[in-house]
Structure 1
Amino acid sequence: MTVSSSQMKELHELTEYERWSLTRLAELSGDIDLEIYTVDTLVEKPIDEEVALDGSQTSYRRVTSSIGGSGVNQVISDITPLIFASSYKCLDLFVEWFLKINGRSSSGASDDWRFSEKISEMETLDFDDTPNVPSIFQTDERILEAISSLYIELKEYRHSIIHDMDFELNNSKLIVENGSGGSYVFGGEELFSFAGVISVSIEAIISDTHDYVTKRQLTTMLDNLTDIHDVPRFDLTGHEAPIIRSQMEPVQKDPYRWEPLTKEISQIAPVAEGDENFWLNLVGLHNGDVVSEWIIPGDEVTESLEPGFDVSSGDFRQYTV
């Protein structure tokens, strides 16, 4: 079963403020790309490399600017505990909602869950026997497994920050005690990945988005958190991987078939180094007019580059722009 529209609305209302606050916190940092942390497509992203019809190659250098500087960097450092606490609060609300739509309830007289109850429920939950799983998690059950593990593994750090103020800041890193003599150092990438996983997951559920781009947004950020959730790395093409565009005039017109310039594409970094972390933007033309277009992740297309391949309008359907 999937999630109903009323359940989506409930999740939206339940987490609206927390998601808003996470977005505002992310905006304070000039080196944080907010598109990573909201449900996004790749269509509007600028390309990095281009192979023209004649095989010539062009590199595009992106000019980036930052609203940062030492003052903003200090602000980011100062509010890292708030970013963590807000992220975990949003995750906690999601967990409570997830348990509710799957028929779980608190043991008390009211609907208020004790925190320990939710942890216990998530520790014993059998995801294979859970009837209402949002579509975005049905694409790969390891995503939900990793998010559940984050909730469980970070519980003591959440307690240390919120209840004990047992943390310190050092060079923009958040060092948190776990209450048992251990500690964990959260760098900026981990912290914003944690926030992003929660934000993108909930946005995907609310908008009923479960495409391959959103999945790779989540897996990119979850790979940054592997040491915490302990789910093996996904190692899929990252959301922020470079985009290589290759235009093609047809070798056949009825039906259309095109042959990408795979030799030239294979000479471009990161493809030339055997790295699958890129997106291939194929543009099928007819007399200069676009007929079909795809944005294909490198982990899906790399094996086809060396022997070469042709593509028709119906191929790579899920990656059609």
Structure 2
Amino acid sequence: MATTFAFAAPSLSSSSRAFARRAPIPYHRSPNHLRLPPLKCSSSEPETSVSPADWTHKFIAGAAGLGFLETSYLTYLKLTGDDAFCPVGGGTCSDVLNSDYAIVFGIPLPLIGMAAYGLVAALGLQLASDKLRFGINKSTAQAVLLGATTSMAAASAYFLYTLSTRFSDSSCFYCLLSAFLSFTLFFVTLKDLGLQEVSKTLGLQLLVATIVILTLNTSYNSSKSGSSSLAEIELPYYATEITTPSSPFALSLARHLHSIGAKMYGAFWCSHCQEQKVMFGREAAKELDYVECFPEGYRTGTKMIKACIDAKLDGFPTWIINGQVLSGEQELSELAEVSGYKESVQPS
């Protein structure tokens, strides 16, 4: 027979139930001074900013880099003898760039400018990145930068004076651009250092500028004294008449040379050029493709015409026949052999 057990929960009195409904549940309230401030979510990497000094040094490096490119181009032209492209003023750029003022003690002025701009650009980049090399500190680098820009500004002032007095009828875009860059670099460097620091080195700056101007003036005075006698050489163009009659062979050879595009380069004052024409004779010489390299006459500093420059002549006369270069006066038989002349008419 199964036995059933029953458990009865204890009952609460009505007063106990009322207390349970009304009594609040206790909890702990944090004091105000322990409350946490609102959290801000941010990146763990520190914020980076570029100081005004860094931007100044980057500007110096950029402006000097532009000057370096300009002077590199002018150095290339000076070493190769090519004419400069002048966006302003036409061909008068060459009057200045090929003058005695473009050489300082035998060194091309653009090459000196290229070295100066390169130094300033390198210093600007190193100061901007705070990675100075060769064991120099920031103050030393700034002092070198100030000295370099002072030298460039002094030289530019001297050249602007020379340009306005010696080349008043010429314009030089590259000279003006270089002067603008030099003065800009100088004043930006002064602003970067501040008035107080600049005042400490004012005497040194004046000394550097004086040395630069005296050096340039000495160089140009010495070059003038050395070339004063040559500067007076002037030969107006003249034509020499050939009276010797041409032989049938010379006339036939001249026509053959003309037909294959052979050219003879010469100068009106060259005696060997005249003797070469005399070999051909009066009629045959007129058939030759002769290129006069100084059609406007010659004076010291006069350059050959572009066709002669492009031919890269070493002297006069010069023959170019089927791509082969023959320098000096040539026998007619040699010209016939080189040009492939095979006519029945033979030299007498």
Q: Could you tell me the TM-score, scaled by structure 2's length?
A: 0.24
> Considering only CA atoms, is the larger Rg found in Structure 1 or Structure 2?
2
Higher normalized helix content (fraction of residues): 2
User: Which structure shows the higher strand fraction?
Assistant: 1
Higher relative contact order (CA 8 A, sep 6+): 1
TM-score when normalising by structure 1: 0.25
